[in-house]
Amino acid sequence: MKKATVGAAVVGAAAVCAVAALIVNHRMRKSNKWARAISILREFEEKCGTPDSKLKQVADAMTVEMHAGLASEGGSKLKMLITYVDNLPTGDEAGVFYALDLGGTNFRVLRVQLGGKDGGIIHQEFAEASIPPSLMVGTSDALFDYIAAELAKFVAEEEEKFHQPDGKQRELGFTFSFPVMQTSINSGTIMRWTKGFSIDDAVGQDVVGELTKAMKRKGVDMRVSALVNDTVGTLAGGKYTHKDVAVAVILGTGTNAAYVERVQAIPKWHGPVPKSGEMVGILSVAIDLILSLWLLQKWLLNASCVSFQVINMEWGNFRSSHLPLTEYDHALDNESLNPGEQIFEKMTSGMYLGEILRRVLLRVAEEAGIFGDEVPPKLKNPFVLRTPDMSAMHHDTSSDLKIVGDKLKDILEISNTSLKTRRLVVEFCNIVATRGARLAAAGVLGILKKMGRDTPRQGGPERTVIAMDGGLYEHYTEYSTCLENSLKELLGEELAASIVFVHSNDGSGIGAALLAASHSMYLEE
């Protein structure tokens, strides 16, 4: 009996030990997995690092590429396109102007009434229409006849107060968001179609000419005053209300920048000096009466006016050895439709930030099992995690990070995540967004360096207003705040005080109408 009792006790003890061992092993595996997750986080954080020293290297590289792109066509990854916009809005424009925004399968027609000096925008309205799929692969005449017919309808329904006086044409700013080689302020050759369009007989044709012929066929008495890009429109919109705007940046699905450049600093410019450029003269110099005559003559010679051109940088295509690329960036690029292109855009814009986050979370799921023993199938789907979802998780301030949990469940079908896991996800969001925002800030610094606005001047720094637009900048507050703070830190306290960011909304619409106004054929009247 005693032997049986002892045997039972031994068996019981062994069972308890076995269970305890299983628990310990489980905890050790769980601990090891979590340690692996933290290891991946720290490695990713290090590879995405953007210390000020690196950002200044990126800014210097941006400036070098800008110089190269201005020197010759094809001389740089930056196209540095001459826009022929040499007359930005001043705020004094008056009258009714129109805009046509053709950026994809939908297009908008806008009417904007400007009130002249101190009057601002008195009235604005728009109509939107979808382009039938058959017209996206049809003929040039069919597409532009359809657009002109919608323009005709929009004009026919307008109130009498918007009618033009006899003998005066309506004027239109045309935002055409497809590859075009611009040849003047209101002409440009269609290079190719994107976004599902394929209209062969339009390639090689002047897009303004095609629209003008269609408007004539449909009885629309309207003249295209300006063919514009949405980033240049953002610059124009900002300039209309802030006279010190010199740079525009769009951070949305994609990214781009435009700025005001001196014609004399554009070696590839072979056209005449623009007649309508902003003029800068040394008008406020106090001439001491005791100056010698030869000094006065020298001053007069150097006080001649300087003309400007707006440059469309197409900065999304910037790349440099100083960019902190990771294995996730390389994989994303290799699997993209345009490998080796738009590297800066792939690190900074709304199209890609969520996808970078998905890729690193997938690795953590595979190697550390933070979402369970099985890798969530949906996490393997490219672009399933969008940047707006990443933004929502990053901005979650609830004590239990409920939004993070809901997003993981709704999008990736990952249920019952722990608070510790949710916090890890937010940390990854922060790393991706911070890198993107700080690189965008370095890009802006590069532009300011090219313009000579990165160092203090005698008499104090020149005030510089940067016009911003795009859903990423507008809605991802952590991103935009980081961008602005990073630029000011890079510039230093004295210069930071002279930098102002403004939101310039709807460059492709209102901005285009404003450029139609500033390039009106009736300005001299």
Provide the annotated active-site residues: 195, 230
C-alpha 420: how far from chain center: 34
User: What's 376's DSSP letter?
Assistant: P
Among candidate residues 127, 136, 135, the one with its CA nearest the CA of residue 107: 127
* Residue 371 to residue 364: CA distance in whole angstroms: 9
* Residue 468 to residue 380: CA distance in whole angstroms: 34
What Å distances lie between residue 237 and 93, 151, 187, 252, 465, CA to CA? Answer: 12, 23, 21, 17, 12
- Let me know if 136 is exposed, middle or buried by CB neighbors in 10 A (0-12, 13-18, 19+): middle
Neighbours of 304 (CB within 10 A): 10
Neighbours of 299 (CB within 10 A): 13
SS3 content of the chain, % helix, strand, coil (to 5): 50, 15, 35
DSSP letter string over 24-47?
A: HHHHHHHHHHHHHHHHHHHHHHHH
What Å distances lie between residue 407 and 166, 349, 392, 440, CA to CA? Answer: 59, 21, 8, 27
Neighbours of 11 (CB within 10 A): 10
Ranges of beta strands (E only) in 2-143 are 81-82, 94-102, 106-115, 121-130
* Residue 20 to residue 13: CA distance in whole angstroms: 10
